[in-house]
Amino acid sequence: MTRVVTLGETMALARTTEIGSLRHASGLALGIGGAESNVAVGLQRLGIETSWLGRVGDDPLGERIVRELRGEGLDVRAVFDTAAATGLMIKERPSAASTAVHYYRRGSAGSRLSAADVPDGWIEEAALLHVTGITPLLSDTARSAVLAVVERARAAGVPVSFDINYRSALAAPEVAGPVLREIAERATLVFGGIEELDLLGPDATTSLLAAGAAQVIVKRGPEGAAVFTLDDTTEALGFAIEPLDTVGAGDAFVAGYLSAWLEGLPTGDALVRGNACGAMACLVPGDWEAAPTRRDLERFLAGGGDPVRR
């Protein structure tokens, strides 16, 4: 049985190879990236069987996405779209301490995801469904697809993990808030930063728990994370590192936490694993390349979070 299923847009990713504005960059490195597939890779590397579904263009970049994800051992359910191109994001480092991401995804193949793309049984046979707030803001059909798979999961008794993952480039707060709230109220686990939770309305953590969420997991970046339930609160500090690229750290945290949750570990241990995975993701350029294997994670934790191997 597939342990985790997830769906969403994965794009081609081009990043500058030196610090400075994209206006003057002399070279770009090509890869792939997408919140849901980042989580999928992270889970797969930690030993959790994972399946990803998404639309890609019938083009070389779409083929690259499928090849890369299959190379990570994922069960890839790709729909090749002959009428739209694969989306693109470009990352630049304007300074040593900053990263900027530019998206070229309007009308992309990934944005054309629909409920009809999701095969029968794929959701119902899973142990967990993971979705993010990015996909429902891409288009009306993508929003309908996310709501449909969430309802299918709930009807089948499959837990739902939802990472708010708000992207202001996709929708204004007043537009995104109600959409994301609708999904969060149907989730078992809700992940988000403090500002993202505020987007869902006043006292969102309490109201989501009252609506039926089992846990609300608050990501605090380098300060760590906390888990809120109806009964208690569990917190864990982050790891002190010198980050190179923070994009994808939140996805790595989610993968680490979900892997521990699926294994039935105590909440405090799940937070430590999530924080460790998030920290490790910041040590290498790219959205998912530094997602740790179980062995990488054990070494990192055995060293007290010190990334230097001695």
Sheet-wide strand order for 225-228 = 75-81, 50-57, 4-7, 128-132, 160-163, 189-193, 215-219, 225-228, 233-236
Q: Is 310 inside any structural domain?
A: no
Return the axis-axis angle of helices 173-184 and 140-156, rounded to nearest 10°: 20
Q: Is 89 inside any structural domain?
A: yes
C-alpha–C-alpha distance, residues 149 and 115, integer Å: 7
Predicted TM-score (pTM) of the model is 0.94
Q: Is 165 inside any structural domain?
A: yes
Q: Is 307 inside any structural domain?
A: no
Return the axis-axis angle of helices 249-262 and 267-281, rounded to nearest 10°: 150
Contact between residue 141 and residue 161 where contact means Cβ atoms under 8 Å apart: no
Instruction: Identify the pLDDT of residue 2.
Output: 63
Nearest Cα to 236, choosing from 192, 197, 201, 271? Answer: 271
Nearest Cα to 12, choosing from 59, 54, 62? Answer: 62
Q: What 3-state class would DSSP assign to 43?
A: helix
Identified catalytic residue from 251, 269, 287, 296: 251
> pLDDT tens digits for 18-43?
889 889 888 999 999 999 999 999 99
- Pairing outcome for strands 88-95 and 98-104: antiparallel
Full residue range of the structural domain in which residue 56 is found: 4-302
C-alpha–C-alpha distance, residues 173 and 201, integer Å: 11
> pLDDT tens digits for 124-164?
999 999 999 999 999 999 999 999 999 999 999 999 999 99
* Structural domains of the chain, count: 1
Q: Is 246 inside any structural domain?
A: yes
The DSSP H or E segment spanning 302 is helix 294-302
- Check if 58 is active-site: no
Contact between residue 166 and residue 197 where contact means Cβ atoms under 8 Å apart: no
- Tokens 């996405």 correspond to 65
- Looking at residue 75, which CATH number applies to its domain? 3.40.1190.20
Residue 82 has a CB neighbour count (10 Å cut-off) of 8
pLDDT of 236 strictly over 60: yes
Q: Is 13 inside any structural domain?
A: yes
Nearest Cα to 55, choosing from 108, 124, 103? Answer: 108
> pLDDT tens digits for 176-201?
999 999 999 999 999 999 999 999 99
Q: Is 308 inside any structural domain?
A: no
The DSSP H or E segment spanning 66 is helix 60-71
> pLDDT tens digits for 271-292?
999 999 999 998 888 789 999 9
Q: Is 309 inside any structural domain?
A: no
